[in-house]
Structure 1
């Protein structure tokens, strides 16, 4: 398999994985908010959200995560194995990918808790939680594109500002919704 085909597959699997990482927390928000509904609507919505969460996680997110890791590690083997120790940006990228993987499994933990009726986070907390995937994606993209420490430091500064803006926007939207 050529490097470009492998890299293309890697990007496709990353996009698929992130589609799930963006959508699943939103389903969790809706699931929590459904708890405020009266019966039988509450039960009907809960069953539907549980079904959607299970299907999304098991049919899309798990395969996409594994395929992302497999193609990513294959890219390292094919392109950078001989110079892996000198690729500091790649080490940091892998640390972020580990953080994304942890986020993935925290999502799984929340799904399992919700099925038991343990709603660990509120709707507003889940909206903030939902932004973690966005912040991690921005960090990885800046790192992969910049590939050097100085440019990455500028990217990191932008990343921190971006994270603050995202969190502030979520808080503002919450206040606007509360007023209405």
Structure 2
């Protein structure tokens, strides 16, 4: 079974990449759907029909299967090497994985609301929400690469700095869009 460890690891990483690709893109599609609701007919109906189709395909063909497969291969890795659970960095990583699943489930709820034309978010709020997956990915990459109970703190500090920079850039972009409109 240990012979398969690196294959499982490669597959785990591949599906992590595709999962995050889905999590990065779907909130962007949500932004477009929210903005399409502000359009006049027939543009509104045409846009919503196409955007909902794109969103449904992305969510059910890429995002959900990738989440399941990434998790399945992670469980294979733990089965082959159960001692890895005892590493402090892995315990912290698993905490971020729980946050990732919470983010994924929340995204699913937003997906279902938008499918039913229920708009609870502004496009700007959804743009901010879109950064959640980025912050989780940032934290996990630092943890996996550094594998240190102390050095991962620098990664977490980096996450907060990244969040601050993203917020500032978001505000600058919003101001630019408002001036342009």
Q: Report the TM-score, using the length of structure 1 for normalisation.
A: 0.95
Q: Which moved more, 1:97-106 or 1:57-66?
A: 97-106
Whole-Å separation in 1 of the counterparts to 2:84 and 2:121: 43
The one of 64, 67, 71 aligned to 2:66? 64
- SS of the residue 1:58 aligns to: helix
- Inter-partner Cα distance in structure 2 for 1:145 and 1:28: 32
Could you list the structure 1 runs, at least 4 aligned residues long, displaced by more than 3 angstroms after superposition. Answer: none
Contact preservation (8 Å) 2:30, 2:126: yes
Q: CA deviation at 1:6?
A: 1.0
Deviates more, 1:133-142 or 1:154-163: 154-163
Rounded Cα–Cα distance in structure 2 between residues aligned with 1:153 and 1:29: 33
**2:150 aligns to what SS in structure 1?**
helix
CA distance in 1, matches of 2:83, 2:12: 20
Gaps of 5+ in 1: none
Shift of residue 157, structure 1, vs aligned partner: 1.3
More moved, 108-117 vs 24-33 = 108-117
Q: Which moved more, 1:125-134 or 1:108-117?
A: 108-117
Does the 8 Å contact 1:27/1:49 carry over to 2?
yes
Residue 89 of structure 1: CA displacement? 0.9
Q: Does 1:161 align with 2:161?
A: yes
Match of 1:8 among 10, 19, 40: 10
Rounded Cα–Cα distance in structure 2 between residues aligned with 1:156 and 1:116: 37
Measured at CA, do residues 63 and 83 of structure 1 come closer, stay the same or move farther in structure 2, by a change above 3 Å? closer
CA distance in structure 2 between the partners assigned to 1:167 and 1:78 by the alignment: 41
C-alpha RMSD of matched pairs (Å): 1.1
Deviations 1:90-124 (A, max 9, x none): 11111111111111111111111112221110000
Pairwise CA distance, 1:83: 5.1
Q: 1-side partners of 2:84 and 2:31: how far apart?
A: 44
SS in 2 for 1:50: helix
What's the counterpart of residue 119 of structure 1? 119
8 Å CA contact retained: 1:131, 1:167: no
8 Å CA contact 2:84, 2:90 repeated in 1: no
Query: What is the 5 A alignment of 1:28-47?
Result: 28-47=30-49
Contact in 2 for aligned 1:17/1:65 (Cα 8 Å): yes
Shift of residue 172, structure 1, vs aligned partner: 1.2
For 1:130 and 1:83, the matched residues in 2 are separated by 31
Note the C-alpha offset of 1:171: 1.6
